[in-house]
């Protein structure tokens, strides 16, 4: 039974919560963001931290000026915030990257052997391991059978790493990480968790779960300032080739050779993204301050409300991987009979000011095994309210019952309203006239 909670309730203040967007039929509406899984809006604490730091923004690690010292201290302190947020071990280091994809490509260059992955992974945790010996396990219809297949593969011949998603970016289904870590270690492998979709929804303890490496993106953790994180055991990171060759990654450089620094500096050549690191730290601190039980209750009440509402609409089907998932974060994938996912997404945006994602979600092998060319994904977060959920359910119900009021057609690979009456290139900073696409 769906919980009854305050229809105006959001768990945290996020940027864009009161954003007004135009409707194709005329007028405006407050934007309902259901695309948190792609890029989450900035938390207020994040934008406040960046505003405070901007006057002091300067060269990091390379300047004696006061602003440079402040920037350097802020950048290095951000590692501590991330380490505390993830309960990292003493032998684990925090490396700042651009995003999860960047983090996993970095680690792929340090793994001394084969990597075992599932076929349900996002491309970020599927493609980087190819050159180093990727072994793919096909997931089963149940988590239990999938785990048995993983065990069989790890036992078949030695592997250095088991790389798994923390939560599916398509369906939100969560794997039992502590159990998988134990299995990996018993088979002589380490475990990497792609936590891009898990970290925004669940607190993760690297120590308690036995996780050796973990990666996530700032832009999915309410810190959209172009930074990501790789946290993991030092030995592989110290022994691996520097991810980038350049200043900051070395202790000394001669004409013929270079003496590389230890991790994390070894993999952070060039001027680092201090604002991105500070944003991630602020997000970690803000989320850590929320009672985990409150966060879980908020998300589950909204997700249950959304799933129940969609299931009650004729022709709407939810998409899942397993029949026995132990947990699911606030991501719901679905299809609508008679409509292409892109058409539904365009309709929701144009006529209802609702943003969802459609497509294959950079998880092509998974969509293929599910027998789908594409699907819709509605993802919720700290700024989502029950009223948002009800708007989405009402809009999908209206589509199924009455159809769209506008016409839509695929152009350049994307569905769009025809004609498009909304200004799509406004410049609110300069006040320049928007370009209308007709």
Q: Among all residues, which ones are annotated catalytic?
A: 362
- CA atoms 425, 358, 297, 281: torsion sign: negative
Three-class secondary structure assignment of the chain: CCCCCCCCCCCCCECCCCCEEECCCCCEEECEECECCCCCCCEHHHHHHHHHHHHHCCCCCCCCCHHHHHHHHHHHHHHHHHHHHHCCCCCEEEEEECCHHHHHHHHHCCCCCCEEEECCCCHHHCCCCHHHCEEEECCCCCHHHHHHHHHHHHHHCCCCEEEEECECCCCCEECCHHHHHHHHHHCCCEEEEECCCCCCCCCCCHHHHCCCEEEEEHHHCCCCCCCEEEEEEHHHHHHCCCCCCCCCCEEEECCCCEEECCCCHHHCCCCCCHHHHHHHHHHHHHHHCCCHHHHHHHHHHHHHHHHHHHHCCCCEEEECCCCCCCEECCEEEEEECCCCHHHHHHHHHHHHCEECEEECCCCHHHHHHCCCCCEEEEECCCCCCHHHHHHHHHHHHHHHHHCCCCCEEEECCEEEECCCCCECCCECCCCECCCECC
C-alpha to C-alpha distances, 298 to 168, 291, 329, 334, nearest whole angstrom: 20, 11, 11, 21
How many residues make up the chain in this entry?
438
Give the number of other Cβ atoms within 10 Å of residue 346's Cβ.
Answer: 24
C-alpha to C-alpha distances, 104 to 68, 130, 224, 321, nearest whole angstrom: 30, 12, 19, 23
Q: How far apart are CA 151 and CA 161, in angstroms?
A: 13
Three-class secondary structure assignment of 75-125: HHHHHHHHHHHHCCCCCEEEEEECCHHHHHHHHHCCCCCCEEEECCCCHHH
């Amino acid at each position: 039974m769906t919980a009854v909670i305050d229809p105006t309730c959001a768990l945290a203040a996020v940027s864009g919560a009161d954003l007004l967007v135009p409707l194709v039929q005329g007028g405006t509406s407050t934007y309902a963001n259901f695309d948190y899984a792609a890029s989450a809006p900035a938390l207020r604490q994040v934008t406040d931290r960046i505003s405070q730091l901007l006057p002091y923004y300067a060269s990091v690690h390379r300047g004696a000026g006061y602003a440079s010292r402040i920037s350097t201290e802020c950048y290095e302190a951000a590692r501590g915030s991330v380490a505390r947020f993830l309960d990292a071990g003493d032998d684990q280091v925090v490396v700042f990257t651009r995003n999860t994809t960047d983090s996993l490509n970095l680690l792929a260059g340090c793994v001394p052997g084969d990597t075992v992955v599932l076929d349900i992974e996002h491309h970020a945790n599927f493609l980087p391991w190819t050159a180093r010996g990727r072994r793919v396990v096909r997931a089963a219809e149940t988590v239990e059978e999938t785990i048995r297949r993983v065990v069989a593969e790890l036992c078949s011949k030695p592997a250095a790493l088991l790389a798994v998603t923390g939560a599916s970016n398509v369906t939100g289904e969560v794997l039992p990480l502590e159990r998988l870590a134990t299995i990996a270690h018993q088979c002589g492998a380490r475990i990497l968790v792609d936590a891009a979709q898990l970290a925004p929804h669940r607190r993760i303890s690297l120590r308690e779960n036995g996780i050796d490496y973990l990666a996530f993106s700032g832009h999915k953790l309410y810190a959209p300032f172009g930074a990501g994180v790789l946290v993991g055991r030092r030995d592989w990171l110290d022994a691996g080739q520097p991810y980038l060759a350049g200043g900051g990654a070395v202790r000394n450089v001669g004409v013929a050779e270079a003496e590389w620094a230890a991790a994390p500096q070894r993999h952070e050549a060039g001027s680092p993204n201090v604002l991105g690191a500070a944003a991630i730290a602020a997000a970690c601190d803000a989320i850590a301050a929320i009672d985990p039980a409150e966060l879980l209750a908020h998300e589950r009440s909204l997700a249950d409300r959304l799933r129940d509402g969609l299931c009650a609409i004729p022709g709407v089907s939810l998409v899942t991987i397993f029949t026995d998932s132990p947990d699911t974060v606030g991501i719901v994938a679905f299809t609508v009979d008679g409509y292409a996912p892109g058409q539904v997404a365009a309709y929701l945006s144009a006529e209802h000011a609702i943003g969802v994602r459609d497509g294959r979600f950079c998880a092509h092998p998974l969509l293929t095994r599910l027998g789908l060319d594409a699907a819709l994904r509605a993802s919720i977060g700290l700024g989502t309210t029950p009223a948002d959920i009800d708007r989405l359910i009402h809009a999908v119900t209206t589509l199924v019952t009455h159809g769209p009021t506008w016409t839509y057609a695929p152009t350049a690979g994307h569905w769009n309203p025809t004609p498009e009456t909304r200004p799509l290139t406004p410049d609110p900073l300069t006040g320049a006239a928007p370009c209308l696409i007709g």
